[in-house]
Amino acid sequence: MIHRPSLILGLALVLGTGSAALAAPCPATMPVAGEFSSGFGARHGRPHPGVDIRAPIGTPVVAPSDGVVVFAGRYYDYGLMIEIEHADGSRARYAHLARFASGVAAGRPVAAGQDLGVVGRTGRTTGANLHVELRRDGRAENPWPWLTRQSCIPGIEVAEAPARR
């Protein structure tokens, strides 16, 4: 089954105008329906190489973009994790899952909206959430702009992630 949870992002910056404006909502294909709970960057004196989206255990997690699964298993503090490589060579990690969807395995392609698994509380985490990372050339990047621009209206740039909690 394919799910397409979305997050409606109301305030956007209209490119080219140099000013903030209230634009049409920009639906983004998000990996999980939930609440942004922790941002990218240093947290408690340690690097936090991704963002966390709080959601109840068992909430479906989907691929926000096409790619190929390069890893699906238990990975240190990440708990159960899936890593997907995209056509541009970037890799996205989805961690703290409770279980994987049927058929999700290393070497298998995934399509945007395809079930990956469900939210859990595995690995080192403070509660049920989905940890999302984006890596290019092995280095972590803030995944928020990538997540929120997957299916945005051309010419609209969404605001940055809410302040880190």
Domain count along the chain: 1
Residue 92 lies in a domain: yes
For residue 57, give the nearest of 133, 127, 147 by alpha carbon: 127
Residue 18 lies in a domain: no
For residue 152, give the nearest of 4, 29, 21 by alpha carbon: 29
Residue 104 lies in a domain: yes
Tokens encoding 60: 């479906």
The domain of 98 spans 30-145
Each residue's pLDDT tens digit, 89-128: 889 999 999 999 999 999 999 988 899 999 999 999 989 9
Residue 113 lies in a domain: yes
- Quote the DSSP letter at residue 4: -
Please tell me the predicted confidence (pLDDT) of residue 12.
Answer: 30
Residue 14 lies in a domain: no
The model carries a pTM of 0.75
Q: Give the residue with greater pLDDT, 25 vs 161.
A: 161
Beta strand 67-74 with 109-110: parallel, antiparallel or unpaired?
A: antiparallel
Contact 9/157 with Cβ under 8 angstroms?
A: no
Total length of the chain: 165
